[in-house]
Structure formats: structure tokens, C-alpha cells
């Protein structure tokens, strides 16, 4: 009887260890495939930006950004570089800017954000932004 109890305790301890280990739990998909556009936006942009019209944070709101002239949103204090950028935001320009803001608008005020290297996440963010056109 004593050996049976010891064996049962060992089995239950092993089972408890397996259930507590991260590899035994269902894992969220890794990489861009398991992330929605809104999740990608939240992960990379939401600290400074919001999608709600008329509501700025540290960065300007991005509601209807596609088709908007860079640096033109009223009631936001853009850097001189962004005000003078002289282009209208489209998907291609957003992709380049999200990847490397300094390459598209040198002197912008996006510091410390240095860019998003995942092209899949950038595509998802841009598709999410495009929903507000």
C-alpha cells in the first residue's frame, strides 16, 4: 500500500509540474500571422496614437490618415519637418514611415520610436488604419 501511495504522489506531482509548465499550456500563435491589425496597432502605435477622431495623445490621432496631408491635422503641434513634408499619406508612404520614420521625414518627432521591421505587421496596421477612410 505504501508503494502505491508513493507512486500516486509521484504521478500527481509530475502531472502538476507538466500543467504548470508553459509548454504544456496552449500557446498563442507567434509572429504576425496570429495578430490582427488592431492588435498590431495596439502593440506598435497605441502608446502615442489613437484612432478616435478629434482625440490626440502624445502623437496625433490617425483617424482617416490615408488621404490626409502630412502635418495638417488641426489642433496638433507637429514638428516643422512634418508640417513641411509636402506629401499626402497613402499606403506606400505609411509602410515606409512605420518601417523607418527618419528615412521618410528626417527631423520628425517620433523619438524614441525607431520603426517596425515586420512587413506583415506593417501591412496589418495599414489595413486597420484604412478602415477609417
Higher pLDDT, 89 or 6: 89
- Say which range, 2-11, 36-45, 83-92, 112-121, has the weakest mean pLDDT: 2-11
Cα–Cα distance, 76 to 105 (Å, whole number) = 17
How does pLDDT run across 67-111, given as a tens digit for each residue? 999 999 999 999 999 999 999 999 999 999 999 999 999 999 998
Cell match 495623445: residue?
Answer: 57
- Looking at the DSSP bridge assignments, the partners of residue 14 are none
Residue 133, pLDDT > 90, answer no
Q: Residue 92 half-sphere exposure, CB side, CA atoms within 13 Å? A: 2
Residue 22, pLDDT > 80, answer no
Cα–Cα distance, 127 to 98 (Å, whole number) = 13
- Among residues 129, 67, 57, 131, the alpha carbon closest in space to that of 98 is found at 129
Secondary element (H or E) of residue 37: helix 37-44
How does pLDDT run across 30-65, given as a tens digit for each residue? 344 678 999 999 999 999 999 999 899 999 999 999
- Looking at the DSSP bridge assignments, the partners of residue 69 are 88
Residue 3: alpha-carbon gap to chain centroid = 55
CATH class of the region 35-130: mainly alpha
Amino acid at each position: 500500500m505504501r508503494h502505491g501511495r508513493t507512486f500516486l504522489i509521484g504521478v500527481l506531482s509530475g502531472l502538476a509540474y507538466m500543467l504548470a509548465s508553459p509548454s504544456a499550456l496552449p500557446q498563442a500563435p507567434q509572429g504576425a500571422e496570429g495578430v490582427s491589425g488592431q492588435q498590431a496597432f495596439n502593440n506598435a502605435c497605441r502608446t502615442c496614437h489613437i484612432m478616435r477622431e478629434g482625440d490626440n495623445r502624445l502623437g496625433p490621432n490617425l483617424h482617416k490618415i490615408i488621404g490626409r496631408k502630412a502635418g495638417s491635422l488641426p489642433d496638433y503641434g507637429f514638428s516643422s519637418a512634418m508640417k513641411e513634408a509636402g506629401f499626402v499619406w497613402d499606403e506606400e508612404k505609411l509602410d515606409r514611415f512605420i518601417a523607418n520614420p527618419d528615412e521618410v521625414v528626417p527631423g520628425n518627432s517620433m523619438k524614441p520610436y525607431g520603426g517596425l521591421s515586420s512587413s506583415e505587421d506593417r501591412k496589418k496596421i495599414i489595413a486597420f488604419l484604412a478602415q477609417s477612410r
